[in-house]
Amino acid sequence: MLAKLTRITTQKKNKNRYNIYLDHGRGEDYGFSVDADVLVKYRLQKGMELDDATINALIQTDTIHKSYTLAINYLSYRMRSEKEMRQYLLEKEVEPEHVDEIIKRLYNEKLLDDQEFANSLIRTRVMTSSKGPLLLKKELIEKGVTAMQAEEALQYYPFDRQLEKASKFAEKKMRQDSRKSRKQQIQSVQQTLMQKGFSGDVIQEALASLPEEEENDSEWEAVVYQGEKLVRKYERKTEGYELKQKVKAGLYRKGFPFDLIDRFLEEYVDN
């Protein structure tokens, strides 16, 4: 049975959506609503006659259009990977078959492109973060980019840029840890750079480029600082030779060289 389209009204809260009223022979009733684009595309107007199949097709077309609008809005903030887009649409309770259709349309319109997404993310991270390439590759793969695409994107993070970032961080970390032994400082820098996703080659070059200690002054100041802490820790429980041995062992564990440890014991710990 055909239904006659009796009235089209603009929704009060959304001027781009229209309510369609139909008469199935029993008087006018609300039928469905559509977006302005669907209204224009199908040239809906008062007096048209619609069968059930056409009505269902219009409703489905409008549903897909609303979901597509959600996708466009999601893309308006930044580029997305296909995986991110699929997850977002499914979270918004879009039908899986509609998701496939929307994803295909986005690819056709060049609005989705995992390789360009990967390239863009690497370029942005190089400018805004201190992460190394291994961590960035992991991030891309978690976002659904293939390992091959991630590798291609990493061309935007060349070795010299990695070394620049790693060296800058290493110098900053050394200054922050100035009261630790040189050995501990180096170990800390090395461990942190590994955690940040830098390769062994980059880390070794960054460490090699660190400025040499100035006449051992900073190392000696660190020995004094750490040694005095150890003296305060142990002097209430022990003294003399035993105190010296405990302080000596503690400073050795912290990576200080024997000559500076012996100098500290001689100058700061009573016999």
CB atoms within 10 A of CB 34: 25
**49-63, 74-88, 147-161, 165-179: least confidently modelled range:** 165-179
CATH assignment at residue 25: 1.10.10.10
Q: Looking at the 3D structure of the chain, how many domains does it have?
A: 4
187 and 239 co-located in one domain: no
> Which one-letter amino acid corresponds to residue 96?
P
The pLDDT assigned to 163 comes to 94
**Joined tokens for residue 239:** 């003294």
Most confident of 50-64, 107-121, 184-198: 107-121
**Joined tokens for residue 14:** 């959304």
Evaluate if residue 262 carries a pLDDT over 90.
no
Most confident of 13-27, 201-215, 228-242: 13-27
20 and 98 co-located in one domain: yes
**151-160, 216-225, 252-261: least confidently modelled range:** 216-225
The pLDDT assigned to 103 comes to 97
Evaluate if residue 118 carries a pLDDT over 90.
yes
Spatial distance between the Cα atoms of 189 and 207, rounded to a whole number of angstroms: 8
**Bridge partners for 127 per DSSP:** none
Number of C-alpha atoms within 13 angstroms, CB side, residue 137?
Answer: 16
Where are the alpha helices (H) located in the chain, listed in sequence order? Answer: 36-41, 52-75, 82-91, 96-108, 114-128, 133-142, 147-153, 159-176, 182-195, 200-208, 217-234, 240-253, 258-268
Q: What is the 8-class DSSP label of residue 20?
A: E
Handedness of CA 108, 113, 116, 121 (dihedral sign): positive
68 and 146 co-located in one domain: no
CATH assignment at residue 244: 1.10.10
Query: Residues 6 or more apart from 70 whose CB is under 8 A from it?
Result: 88, 89, 92, 94
Evaluate if residue 214 carries a pLDDT over 60.
no
119 and 32 co-located in one domain: no
185 and 122 co-located in one domain: no
32 and 81 co-located in one domain: yes
Q: What is the 8-class DSSP label of residue 255?
A: T
State which residues form the domain around 239: 217-268
CB atoms within 10 A of CB 261: 22
135 and 124 co-located in one domain: yes
Specify the 3-state DSSP secondary structure of 68.
helix
Q: Which of 170, 191, 208 is the last residue of a domain?
A: 208
Spatial distance between the Cα atoms of 174 and 181, rounded to a whole number of angstroms: 10
Residue of higher predicted confidence among 247 and 18: 18
Verdict on whether the full-model pTM lies above 0.75: no
**Bridge partners for 82 per DSSP:** none
Spatial distance between the Cα atoms of 260 and 32, rounded to a whole number of angstroms: 85
Strand order in the sheet with 3-10: 28-35, 17-23, 3-10, 49-50
35: left (phi over 0), alpha (psi -120 to 50) or beta: beta
150 and 221 co-located in one domain: no
Evaluate if residue 63 carries a pLDDT over 80.
yes
The pLDDT assigned to 216 comes to 52
Q: Which of 226, 132, 136 is nearest to 178 (CA)?
A: 226
Mean of all residue pLDDT scores within the chain: 89
Q: Are strands 3-10 and 17-23 parallel, antiparallel or unpaired?
A: antiparallel
Average pLDDT over residues 246-268: 77
103 and 7 co-located in one domain: yes
150 and 164 co-located in one domain: no
152 and 174 co-located in one domain: no
88 and 134 co-located in one domain: no
DSSP 72-90: HHHHTTS---HHHHHHHHH
The pLDDT assigned to 213 comes to 59
